[in-house]
């Protein structure tokens, strides 16, 4: 997908691997200056080097997205490194799966509150930005009941609802807010690759539910994020785009 993001300044929260990495690399390939954060130092530096290879500003910093102070410090550092913020992508997840205090706590802290906190921290910069927008990553798990990952589905539904509220609150400030809801996405080191390698029946059941006989790729999600953040989607706000290859239709 070829979109010109020259001169745009992009922050990707949760941008060192998988979908976040592909989003960050997509913006960099389009000419943007990009900042990413994550917890793992190794993948973070590796992805930063990939971003820098495109010849634009590439900033990376460790950040615990479950902690308010860590988010505030990261957004401030990213804005300084980039000279401002035009686009914020909220991609991180705590992957809280179990229906207990630990599962719900991890889910709320990252999937919900990191979106809220990063958006609020970035808002003063976005208001001064060029064609500013926010794109958050939810999941098709938000759109159906789940006996396997109730907290994850519930908080991803909250992200979709908050997207509509943000869009309404920020429209008069010239900031668009949208969301993507990926289906099952496979990439090296990810949970779906692990399930496939282990011969998990969950993997086989999901694969059978997708009419194209494969799981999605991070790049296919990234392309939709890039579109929503681009001038081509300048009249789109408050929307959630499902990116699942028809998985919801048959599962």
Query: In the predicted model, is pLDDT for residue 80 greater than 90?
Result: yes
In what order do the strands lie in the sheet containing 176-182? Answer: 58-62, 33-38, 9-13, 87-90, 133-137, 176-182, 240-243
Domain boundaries, the chain: 9-183+216-244
Which of 16, 139, 184, 230 does the annotation list as catalytic?
A: 139
Q: Which CATH superfamily is domain 9-183+216-244 in?
A: NAD(P)-binding Rossmann-like Domain (3.40.50.720)
Whether 141 sits among the annotated catalytic residues: the reply is no
- The single residue of 70, 133, 152, 184 carrying the catalytic annotation is 152
Which residue among 35, 93, 138, 149 is the active-site one? Answer: 138
Model pLDDT, residue 2:
78
pLDDT in tens, 81-126: 999 999 999 999 999 989 999 999 999 999 999 999 999 999 999 9
- Residue position matching structure tokens 């509509």: 164
Q: In whole angstroms, what is the distance from residue 222 CA to residue 18 CA?
A: 10
The question of whether 74 is a catalytic residue gets the answer no
Indicate if the pLDDT at residue 1 is higher than 80.
no
Taking the C-alpha atoms of residue 220 and residue 227, their distance in angstroms, rounded to an integer, is 11
The pLDDT confidence band at residue 232, using thresholds 50, 70 and 90, is very high
Query: Is 138 part of the annotated catalytic residue set?
Result: yes
What is the model's pLDDT at position 146?
Answer: 87
Q: Is 156 a catalytic residue?
A: yes
Contact (CB, 8 A) for 6 and 32: yes
What is residue 100's predicted lDDT score, i.e. its pLDDT?
A: 95
Residue 66 near residue 14 (C-beta atoms within 8 A): no
Answer yes or no: is pLDDT of 251 > 80.
no
pLDDT tens for residues 143-166? 999 888 999 999 999 999 999 999
- Name the band, by pLDDT with cuts 50, 70 and 90, for residue 4: very high
Do residues 179 and 135 touch, judged by C-beta distance below 8 A?
A: yes
Coil, helix or strand for 16? coil
Q: Indicate if the pLDDT at residue 137 is higher than 90.
A: yes
**71 exposure class (CB count in 10 Å sphere: 0-12, 13-18, 19+):** buried
Radius of gyration, alpha carbons of the chain: 17
* All residues at 6 or more sequence positions from 124 whose CB lies less than 8 Å from its CB, including other chains: none
CB 209 within 8 A of CB 250: yes
Average pLDDT along the chain: 96
pTM: 0.96
Query: Catalytic: which of 22, 141, 156, 203?
Result: 156
């Amino acid at each position: 997908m070829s979109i010109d993001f020259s001169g745009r300044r992009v922050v990707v929260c949760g941008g060192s691997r998988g979908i976040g990495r592909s989003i960050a690399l997509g913006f960099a390939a389009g000419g943007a200056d990009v900042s990413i954060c994550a917890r793992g130092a190794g993948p973070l530096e590796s992805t930063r080097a990939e971003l820098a290879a495109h010849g634009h500003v590439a900033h990376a910093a460790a950040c615990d997205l479950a902690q308010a102070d860590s988010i505030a410090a990261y957004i401030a550092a990213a804005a300084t490194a980039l000279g401002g913020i035009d686009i914020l992508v909220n991609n991180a997840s705590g992957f809280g799966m179990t229906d207990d205090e630990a599962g719900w706590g991890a889910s709320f802290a990252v999937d919900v509150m990191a979106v809220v906190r990063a958006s609020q921290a970035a808002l003063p910069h976005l208001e001064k930005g060029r064609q500013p927008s926010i794109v958050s990553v939810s999941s098709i798990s938000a759109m159906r009941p789940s006996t396997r990952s109730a907290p994850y589905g519930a908080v991803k539904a909250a992200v979709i609802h908050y997207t509509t509220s943000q869009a309404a609150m920020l429209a008069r400030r010239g900031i668009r807010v949208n969301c993507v809801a990926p289906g099952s996405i496979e990439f090296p080191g990810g949970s779906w690759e692990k399930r496939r390698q282990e011969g998990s029946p969950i993997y086989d059941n999901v694969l059978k539910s997708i009419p194209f006989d494969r799981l999605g790729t991070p790049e296919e999600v990234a392309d939709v994020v890039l579109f929503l953040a681009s001038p081509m989607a300048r009249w789109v706000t408050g929307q959630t785009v499902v990116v699942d290859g028809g998985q919801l239709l048959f599962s």
